[in-house]
Amino acid sequence: MTQPKAAAPAVAAYADTPLRRKVLRRIRNRPTTRGAIVLLGIFVLLALLAPFIAPQNPHDLASLSVMDNRLEPGAQGMTGITYWLGTDAQGRDMLSAILYGLRTSLLVGLTSTAGALVIGVAAGLVAAQFGGAIDAAIMRVVDFMLGFPSILIALVLLASIGRGVDKVIVAIILVQWAQYARLMRAAALVERRKEYIEAAVNFGLPTRHIMLVHLLPNSIGSVLVISTISIATAITLEATLSFLGVGVPVTQPSLGLLIANGFEFLLSGEYWIAAFPGIALVLLIMSLNLVGDRLRRSFNVRGP
Amino acid sequence: MSAYILQRLIQSVLVLLAVSIVVFLAVYGIGDPIELLVPPQVSAAERAAMIRRLGLDLPVWQQYLSFLGSALKGDLGTSFVHGVPAVELILARLPATFELVLLAMGLAAVIGVPLGLLAGLNPESRPSRAIMAGTILGFSLPSFWKGMMLILLFSVALGWLPTAGRGETVSILGFQTSLLTLNGLKHLTLPALNLAIPNMALMIRLVAAGTTEAMTQDYVKYARAKGVRRQRIVGRHVLRNILIPVVTVAGMEFGSLVAFSTITETVFAWPGMGKLLIDSIYHLDRPVVVAYVMLATLLFVVVNFLVDVLYAALDPRVKLTGEMA
């Protein structure tokens, strides 16, 4: 570096802020991205407030009336309740089921992404910092995991441990951590060659301090950007597993399981049981993808 | 070259060994193997006899070695539900899945390459933008959802195509195929299209990116300066240069198509090995699940090995003494 030492942080700050501001401005100026962000916000709010706004508690079998089964959207039930999105085979209000399903889908998507992120970032950081045999061992496992389609790994794991929300989360973490490890290692290796790390090493700072205080915050950016899209991937994977009948249990249905339940009625013209959860799922996935893709392009991050 | 092939061969065997250990531990370590391998309706005496016969009273490493030994002989257990060897059961369903996967690969190439060329030649035009936006949908929408929409559109609304099963098949060289009867083809169309969509999107992206890049190369500028017609430049020079990576990726995607066919086969009730896997998971038919995983891994390893060797043979720039991939 040719600049005097004291000026360096100021220069960094100057170079840093406009990018963030530019990215924010770019996101705000795109109508589709703005729409996607608003939609995402609505989805999160609906999921959080589901117990308060849902007309019915779909998990409480006592409040369901089997007489009201497979009613059309807008039909009135025995108890005078209006089913705006119709009912399913158990007489469950689809609107309530979707609100609660959204909760399960988002819970699984966010928790599993967070779990995979933590494990993957830790593995990638360790691999980049220590190199040698540790690096080789971690990366061999990563290559091994990425060599198989995620759906197959998750299916086989769930086939041996059974279904359940926690088990689906474990399965998705298992298939997603490896890509974060690879990204994090690559970013940390680039960062490690920079002079401030060299300076920190020469100061005699402990390795743990260098890894957590210098390396981690400076190389995690690209990984975080990619993780936005990965939430969508996680939600898709959960929906697929639940659709195949190995995902979440029937007592806590996600959007995918709701669609699976409605699938058999699709051919007989009772489209609403599968269609409305399907629309909700697709809007959720699309808006996450749009926001993630815009972030990725704005920060100029290459995907895994 | 032969050193490279040998190195890849050793790696492939190591991957197979690793998978066999993981699968063995998953089946014998996580769950209770007695519960998994002995049907629940047998009496206590039969139970004890079966435990001894299956060797479940032996130490774990000895059990693994015997598992490996019989696996090498092609014996991966007997299905609880069907009472026949699991490998036999899966191999009987293999032609149906391969038929689906091969047609899907064909569709992806036939539709994907021209669309990719179109999008790559005029990247700023409106249709190109629409195509590229479409590929994002193709990647990100869940496969089962797309399948449902195809059924809704082509079967329920339009009534053109059937929704389930294989239809009429004819036997060729001992294999049943739906490709040669009109009814079979009708049954095949929707599942194959559904399976092809993500691959088509990938193909479009690859070809478009390759084309845009190739059009700026000197050999294209030279050909243009020489007055070569546009069609000839695209057909002769551009297409040839971008096809190597496209063929490689298509080959590598074969394995994931087989894996993803589980979803498509479930939606369209297609009697392939993916549907068998899902049914076996439902019925807790573990030997079939284990056999599926081992056979699928073998398939992946063989395909990846062939693609790597082919790629090295096709493209002289690939380092033949490369690192472990």
For A115-150, give the DSSP string: HHHHHHHHHHHHHHHH-HHHHHHHHHHHHHHHTS-H
Q: Residues A44-88: pLDDT tens digits?
A: 888 888 777 777 777 766 666 666 666 667 666 666 677 666 777
Q: How many CB atoms lie under 10 A from the CB of residue B115?
A: 21
Structural contact between residues A252 and A165, judged by C-beta atoms closer than 8 angstroms: yes
Indicate the pLDDT class of residue B173, thresholds 50, 70 and 90: low
- Interface membership of B163 toward A (CB under 8 Å): yes
**Using a CB-CB distance cutoff of 8 angstroms, which residues of chain A are in contact with residue B254?**
none
**Using a CB-CB distance cutoff of 8 angstroms, which residues of chain A are in contact with residue B293?**
152, 156
Give the integer Cα–Cα distance in Å for A204 and A192: 15
Beta bridge partners of A75: A83
Is the C-alpha dihedral spanning A264, A266, A271, A277 positive or negative?
positive
- For range B246-251, the mean pLDDT: 78
With a cut of 80, say whether residue B112 has pLDDT above it. Answer: yes
- Interface membership of A209 toward B (CB under 8 Å): no
Q: Residues B88-98: pLDDT tens digits?
A: 888 888 888 88
Q: Which amino acid is at B140?
A: S
From A143's Cα to the closest Cα of chain B, the distance in A is 8
Q: Which amino acid is at B106?
A: G
pLDDT given for residue A234 in this prediction: 92
pLDDT given for residue A113 in this prediction: 94
Q: A244 vs B259: CB contact, 8 Å cut-off?
A: no
Higher pLDDT, A113 or A195: A113
From A267's Cα to the closest Cα of chain B, the distance in A is 6
**Domain positions in chain B:** 1-72, 86-314
Q: What is the pTM of this model?
A: 0.82
- Interface membership of B256 toward A (CB under 8 Å): yes
Q: Residues A4-26: pLDDT tens digits?
A: 444 455 555 555 566 667 667 76
Q: Residues B211-237: pLDDT tens digits?
A: 888 888 888 888 888 888 888 888 777
Give the integer Cα–Cα distance in Å for B14 and B305: 13
Beta bridge partners of A87: A93
Task: Classify domain B86-314 by CATH architecture.
Answer: Orthogonal Bundle (1.10)
- Interface membership of A135 toward B (CB under 8 Å): no
Give the integer Cα–Cα distance in Å for A186 and A22: 26
Indicate the pLDDT class of residue A181, thresholds 50, 70 and 90: very high
| ipTM score for this prediction | 0.78
- Interface membership of B18 toward A (CB under 8 Å): yes
Indicate the pLDDT class of residue A3, thresholds 50, 70 and 90: very low
Higher pLDDT, A19 or B240: B240
Domain annotation for chain A: domains and CATH numbers: 32-61+78-300 (1.10.3720.10)
Per-position b or e across B211-247, b if 16+ CB within 10 A of its CB: bbebbeeeebeebeeeeeeeeebbeebbbebbbebbe
- Interface membership of A144 toward B (CB under 8 Å): yes
Instruction: Give long-range contacts, CB 8 A cutoff, 24+ apart: A49-55.
Output: A50/A96, A50/A99, A50/A100, A50/A102, A50/A103, A53/A99, A54/A93, A54/A95, A54/A96, A54/A99, A54/A100, A55/A81, A55/A93, A55/A95, A55/A96
- Interface membership of A269 toward B (CB under 8 Å): yes
Indicate the pLDDT class of residue A252, thresholds 50, 70 and 90: confident
Q: B263 vs A151: CB contact, 8 Å cut-off?
A: yes
Q: Which amino acid is at B240?
A: R
**Using a CB-CB distance cutoff of 8 angstroms, which residues of chain B are in contact with residue A285?**
140-142
Q: A152 vs B296: CB contact, 8 Å cut-off?
A: yes
